[in-house]
Amino acid sequence: MDYELMEFEPFQEDMSYSGIQMWVKDSRVIFVKEYEAKSLFLDWYISEQPLIASIYNYLSANHKNNIYFFMILNFDLNNDDDLALTINKVIKDEYVCKKYVFQSIDEITDVPFLNNQFIKIPQFDYDQEFKSGILNFNMINHFVGEEKESLDSFYSLASNLLDYYFTSYSVLEETSKLEKDIINIGIRSVSDED
């Protein structure tokens, strides 16, 4: 991307104190700050906005139209509706510069001039690959009669167990409930044979 970290001498001490970095490429200036607490983020207009506005006054005309402030939230959001409203207000506030609030690295593709810099790679689904690898029984078609029925029954049981595992492994459950569910899956699979 070829952006260079710039030290703006008259304000370098204030920028370091605030934890703001200034990146420059051609006529574009990007300020970046990571917020590790909600209270720090809510005070951005008191601490960071005036600093960026002061630097704005020293920039050349071609830089003034291309100033961006990337605000990275590195704290637990916990479905906070008030915080969501504040984030929307920050994004819509274009005083001095255009602002972007990032809650995850994937959101960087929302920035128009960076969108083409990142290739979206499809997420690898480990669970599906594991499940399909286990259930890949190409040899089932080679068997006939009772052997094929036994393999079909095993395949059905394995499929049910894997489905259960992948829908519940992330949820903490009591061991006795887990054991009962697995036994029920086995009973259902055996009764399906009859």
Instruction: Indicate the SS3 state at residue 181.
Output: helix
What pLDDT is stored for residue 80 in this prediction?
A: 84
The tokens for 88 are 């929307």
CA 147-150-154 angle, 5° bins: 140
Instruction: Indicate the SS3 state at residue 21.
Output: strand
Determine contact, residues 51/15, Cβ cutoff 8 Å: yes
What pLDDT is stored for residue 52 in this prediction?
A: 93
> Mind giving me the DSSP string for 25-68?
ETTEEEEEEEE-SHHHHHTHHHHHHHHHHHHHTTS-HHHHTSEE
Determine contact, residues 120/109, Cβ cutoff 8 Å: yes
Determine contact, residues 161/182, Cβ cutoff 8 Å: yes
Digit-by-digit pLDDT tens for the chain (194 residues) are: 578 888 888 899 999 999 999 999 888 999 999 999 998 999 888 889 999 999 999 998 889 989 999 999 998 888 888 888 989 999 998 888 999 999 887 788 888 887 766 555 566 666 667 666 666 655 555 566 666 666 667 677 777 777 766 666 544 444 455 555 555 655 554 555 55
What pLDDT is stored for residue 175 in this prediction?
A: 46
What pLDDT is stored for residue 95 in this prediction?
A: 86
Determine contact, residues 12/49, Cβ cutoff 8 Å: no
Residue 134's closest CA among 102, 157, 168, 108?
157
